[in-house]
Structure 1
Amino acid sequence: MPTESAGQRGPRATLADVAAAAGVNASTVSRALATPGRGNPETRERIIRIAEELNYTPSPSGRALASGRTSAVAVLVSDVTNPFYFGIIRGTQHELRTAGYSQLLVHTEEDPGIEESTLMRMRGSFDGAILAAPRLSDARLAEFAAEIPLVVINRPTAGVPSVFIDTPRGFEQSIEHLVSLGHRRICYAAGPTNSWASDIRWRAVRASGERLGIETIRIGPFEPRTRFGGAAADAALNTGATACVAFNDLLAIGMLSRFAERGVRVPEDMSIVGCDDIFGADFCSPPLTTLTAPIERAGRVAVSMLMEMISPTAPQAPARTGVLLATHLTIRSSTGPYTPTEQPTPSGAS
């Protein structure tokens, strides 16, 4: 009987197909096929057998990815002009350099289309990717994670390794702080419409308001930049709120500027809380109360997690799937006690 030639086999399987059939993740398949001396020998033999049965042959870009020959990692950030990402970039750069990798920095402009096209077109140029606050859907992130070793920052997604800065708990602390100062109507200046982080922060604000028995109001969405702070400040004043928590420091700083233009005193007339504690938050007038986040550490941890997936010299322990980093509230002069405006005494009253 003639043997079946390679050309007579069915469609070539993908890395994800092999991983699913073997019951392991895609990074395990990549390591098993690229680094013979690593991992459990039985697991590696099983993966090789399944790959052959499924007619899996790495593409040229896939071979580079599996072998680690590029020695580069792509770091995708939503807004390279936002100081929040400076810390992440510093953290990833330092950790990658220590590991012997180069960093490919990509500015995605808050656009999920750019994120997707980068991961698709450039996948042969890097060994793995780190996505900071990605705008892709959960389903699309999971699909890419099945094909490419990647870690996301500030976006917990099932099946995708992630580093999450616990800002929701920080926003709870912000509301508790403002309530302790006497504020009973607090607004939240929301971030971009497609921001997962903005939605979860609002849920934390709303839940805290319900728990503490105060009114919370959502305004926005606003782009997370200082020039949109003016519109956010005007909207906050229209709600009658006495305090506001902003999606990030840039938006809060823009609000401070607008309040000054309108003669609104901070914190006497309006208290403001930001998020991230970026460089310059303590130089504002007044200095900004904000959530201090371990931003640079998040970048370092993300690289460490990625190296567990792609580095031939990484320990044989299972790769981490999620790391939670705590935040804390740094209180400065932009928040203060709520003092009700005194009403004039009616004429003739005793």
Structure 2
Amino acid sequence: MVATLREVAARAQVSVATASRAFQRPDMVGAATRTRILEAAQELGYVANSTARALVTGRRDVVGVVVPDLLNPFYPAVLKGARARARERGVQLLLADAEEEPEGELPLVRTLAQQVDGIVLCSSRMDEASLREAAGLTRLALVNRTDPGLPGVLADPEPGVGAAVRHLAELGHTRIGYVGGPEASRSDADRRRAIALACRAGMEQVDLGRFPPTAEGGAQAAEAVLGSGVGAVLVYNDVMALGLVDHLRTRGVDVPGALSVIGWDDIEFAGMLAPGLTTVRVPRAEIGEAAIDALLDRGADDAVAPLHRLLPTELVLRGTTAPPAPSQNV
């Protein structure tokens, strides 16, 4: 049996990342440490060349990650977490962008499956039949989606949504609108259920429709928001929330004086708004790390690793929420 990079690192008493650099970037590793790593590799019979190792072991030490939209600022932190964990575990990442086209995900999986040991599907929107076919092509792990037979990691919407609804209720709001995302988004469905669960007696949940998960989509939602008469809205993601706030302000609508807005994700730009966007924080880097672990720790016959992992969300209070105007909630 051919040794793994993790076994070499353990024998040399270094991290997997350091062992990897000794082969890929030897100039970044001290001479004594590099010598110790190379000696450990020789003792264990480690094959450093990835092509040769794949021929011997059937493994490529490469995993794929498919995201729905690289322009969405939610995903860079997820990918950074995934990349950091992949380095620790001695594998490389191969990234693909589905460009917000659910029907494009399966073709990407078909292509990547020939080059990788497994694939992390982030917020996959492919239908169940396509997901079954994809699972037959390579090992899969899911982010922000659950499937009975596949490992996955997702942000638990209930803590964050519950805190957001309680916060609005404490401010005096009784009618809360939801600006939704794509119909194919499982996260959107989970969030709707969490809002319905959190809205207690005396609070009304108002569905304001579905919109593209972009700043333009948020701007498009402005008419529905204003026409509804609600005093507060929860928005599918921060990008949409920022687009909504910007469009409302160009029309002279005071946020939060006339309308309270709460986003979702806590992307870096959320705190740059003046005032900052109140939002629900999702542990994005931790999701990326956990997704790599879920993919690598659970093989086809491995029932040791947990199948599904829920990571908590939390409300981050900034400046886009306030008590309702006197004419609202009546």
Question: What TM-score do you get using the length of structure 1 for normalisation?
Answer: 0.74
291, 314, 317: which one aligns with 1:331? 317
Residue of structure 2 in register with 1:59 after alignment: none
Q: Secondary structure at the match of 1:83?
A: coil
Whether contact under 8 Å (2:124, 2:142) holds in the other structure is: yes
* Structure 1 CA distance for aligned equivalents of residues 305 and 2 of structure 2: 16
Alignment of 1:100-179 (within 5 A): 100-179=90-169
Per the alignment, do residues 256 and 71 of structure 1 end up closer, same or farther by CA in structure 2, a change over 3 Å counting? same
Once the two structures are superposed, residues 227-275 of structure 1 have per-residue CA deviations (whole angstroms, 9 ceiling, x without a partner) of 2222212210100000000000000000110111111111111000000
Per the alignment, do residues 137 and 317 of structure 1 end up closer, same or farther by CA in structure 2, a change over 3 Å counting? closer
Question: Which amino acid is the alignment partner of residue 285 of structure 1?
Answer: A
**1:185 partnered with 2:171:** no
Per the alignment, do residues 78 and 224 of structure 1 end up closer, same or farther by CA in structure 2, a change over 3 Å counting? same
* Structure 2 CA distance for aligned equivalents of residues 287 and 96 of structure 1: 33
Whether contact under 8 Å (1:77, 1:133) holds in the other structure is: yes
Residue of structure 1 in register with 2:272 after alignment: 283
Matched pairs, number: 279
Whether contact under 8 Å (1:76, 1:132) holds in the other structure is: yes
Whether contact under 8 Å (1:66, 1:127) holds in the other structure is: no
Residue of structure 1 in register with 2:216 after alignment: 227
* Structure 2 CA distance for aligned equivalents of residues 106 and 168 of structure 1: 30
**How far is the alpha carbon of 1:94 from its aligned partner?**
1.1
* Structure 2 CA distance for aligned equivalents of residues 333 and 36 of structure 1: 54
Whether contact under 8 Å (2:110, 2:137) holds in the other structure is: no
Whether contact under 8 Å (1:68, 1:310) holds in the other structure is: no
Q: Secondary structure at the match of 1:81?
A: coil
Q: Secondary structure at the match of 2:66?
A: strand
Whether contact under 8 Å (1:108, 1:115) holds in the other structure is: yes
**How far is the alpha carbon of 1:308 from its aligned partner?**
1.1
Residue of structure 1 in register with 2:228 after alignment: 239
**How far is the alpha carbon of 1:320 from its aligned partner?**
2.3
Q: Which sections of structure 2, spanning at least 5 residues, go unmatched? A: 5-52
**How far is the alpha carbon of 1:99 from its aligned partner?**
1.5
* Structure 1 CA distance for aligned equivalents of residues 88 and 282 of structure 2: 23
Whether contact under 8 Å (1:64, 1:127) holds in the other structure is: no
Question: Which amino acid is the alignment partner of residue 261 of structure 1?
Answer: T
Question: Which amino acid is the alignment partner of residue 296 of structure 1?
Answer: A
Residue of structure 2 in register with 1:29 after alignment: none
60, 63, 71: which one aligns with 2:61? 71
**1:90 partnered with 2:80:** yes
Q: Which sections of structure 1, spanning at least 5 residues, go unmatched? A: 1-33, 38-62, 343-350
Residue of structure 2 in register with 1:300 after alignment: 289
**How far is the alpha carbon of 1:158 from its aligned partner?**
1.1
* Structure 2 CA distance for aligned equivalents of residues 284 and 324 of structure 1: 30
192, 206, 209: which one aligns with 1:217? 206
* Structure 2 CA distance for aligned equivalents of residues 85 and 166 of structure 1: 17
**How far is the alpha carbon of 1:147 from its aligned partner?**
4.3
Residue of structure 2 in register with 1:200 after alignment: 190
Per the alignment, do residues 159 and 287 of structure 1 end up closer, same or farther by CA in structure 2, a change over 3 Å counting? same
* Structure 2 CA distance for aligned equivalents of residues 258 and 145 of structure 1: 42
- Percent identical pairs in the alignment equals 35
Whether contact under 8 Å (1:128, 1:310) holds in the other structure is: no
Question: Which amino acid is the alignment partner of residue 338 of structure 1?
Answer: P
Per the alignment, do residues 66 and 144 of structure 1 end up closer, same or farther by CA in structure 2, a change over 3 Å counting? farther
* Structure 2 CA distance for aligned equivalents of residues 135 and 65 of structure 1: 34
* Structure 2 CA distance for aligned equivalents of residues 317 and 161 of structure 1: 10
Q: CA RMSD in A?
A: 2.5
Per the alignment, do residues 139 and 67 of structure 1 end up closer, same or farther by CA in structure 2, a change over 3 Å counting? farther
* Structure 1 CA distance for aligned equivalents of residues 93 and 217 of structure 2: 31
Residue of structure 2 in register with 1:13 after alignment: none
* Structure 2 CA distance for aligned equivalents of residues 65 and 74 of structure 1: 19
Tell me which stretches of 4 or more aligned residues in structure 1 moved more than 6 Å.
34-37
Question: Which amino acid is the alignment partner of residue 322 of structure 1?
Answer: H
Once the two structures are superposed, residues 137-180 of structure 1 have per-residue CA deviations (whole angstroms, 9 ceiling, x without a partner) of 23432443354211101101111100011124322221111111
Whether contact under 8 Å (1:166, 1:327) holds in the other structure is: yes
Whether contact under 8 Å (1:165, 1:326) holds in the other structure is: yes
Question: What TM-score do you get using the length of structure 2 for normalisation?
Answer: 0.79
**How far is the alpha carbon of 1:310 from its aligned partner?**
5.6
**How far is the alpha carbon of 1:65 from its aligned partner?**
10
**How far is the alpha carbon of 1:207 from its aligned partner?**
2.8
Question: Which amino acid is the alignment partner of residue 298 of structure 2?
Answer: M
